[in-house]
Amino acid sequence: MRNETLHGVDDGLFMNEQGVGAWSTDKYALIRLYAHLFTSGMKGKWPNLVYVDLYSGAGQSRIDGSNEILLGSPLIALSIDIPFDQYIFCDSNRAALDALKSRVASRFPTAQATYLLGDCNDTWQQIVDLIPSRCLCLCFVDPYDLSIHFDTLRRLSEGRNMDFLCLLASRTDAGRNRANYTTEESTKVDLFLGSRDWRAEKDSPLVLKQNFGDFLCSKFAERMETLGYLPSPNHEMRTIKDANRALYRLALFARHETAKRFWNQVLKYSIPQRSLFD
């Protein structure tokens, strides 16, 4: 794989500029490496490789307070050496989706890409209808908060070969909103986990001692196991940091050991001063 830059250029189109910090470089580097391993390892073994991006954004982002521009996950997935056969991009922001469509048409005119406007929790059936039979899917889930519903992932993966790469807002949304999200009136975590069972544990001494977001990450992984996904304990998730402050956890959920081996390579070679390209 070429050691290409993750940086983009100002093309005059709409860009995501909120909630994008320098830490995003780490996130996008991990995504690029996993996508590369996924397509290079699976090409020819499946009739179709499909990339699904549930929170695609505009394809480029500007880091807060700077002029630095980063390629977003859609353009990264399109630019790897061995591309996917099909791309499905979903976003609730019309301006972002229109900008992404223009960027893809300009830079990757032959790509088979489809764009869906709306919240992925509402458009999941449209996404399902676009996925061909006998394919292997990689679905990237990158919300700023705990807005993804577990039932959406369940519906997308039901009867399909789909791996999920999920950014979990462990220390941002979850860690900062424990008091709000643990009230009886709040349904945020119930929808995130697709269950209310977590409430029986939330006030236990063990859970009260740990960060609430870390607790939710472990519960989310347990819920994914009910769909046939392999265990993904917190220590196998990559912590995304801003300086020394933990913000998110990036987690892989896969049903086959091959994908886990790919992820272990990502974790190994994403350690500072190490590179798969050395």
pTM: 0.93
Structure tokens at 55: 């929170």
Q: What is residue 6's predicted lDDT score, i.e. its pLDDT? A: 81
Half-sphere exposure of residue 224, counting CA atoms within 13 Å on the CB side? Answer: 26
How many CA atoms does the CB half-sphere of 11 hold within 13 Å?
19
The predicted pLDDT at position 16 comes to 79
| Domain boundaries, given as residue ranges, for the chain | 1-168+261-271, 170-236
Residue whose tokens read 């449209």: 126
Cβ(50)–Cβ(137) below 8 Å: yes
Query: Residue 231 in contact with residue 225, Cβ under 8 Å?
Result: yes
Residues 149 and 192: beta-carbon distance below 8 Å? yes
Distance CA 61, CA 9 (A): 10
pLDDT beyond 90 at 116: yes
Signed CA dihedral, 226, 229, 230, 236: sign only: negative
Q: Is the pLDDT of residue 105 over 80?
A: yes
Q: Residue 36 CB: number of other CB atoms within 10 A?
A: 20
**Residue 126: Cβ-neighbour burial (10 angstroms; 0-12, 13-18, 19+):** middle
Q: What would the pLDDT profile of 245-263 be if each residue is shown by its tens digit?
A: 899 999 999 999 999 999 9
Contact (CB, 8 A) for 255 and 153: no
- 20-56 pLDDT, tens digit per residue, is 788 888 999 999 999 999 999 999 999 999 999 999 9
Express each pLDDT in 202-247 by its tens digit: 999 989 998 999 999 999 999 999 999 999 999 999 999 988 889 9
Q: Which numeric CATH code is attached to 1-168+261-271?
A: 3.40.50.150
Written as six digits, the tokens of 226 are 């009910």
Residue 243's pLDDT is what?
81
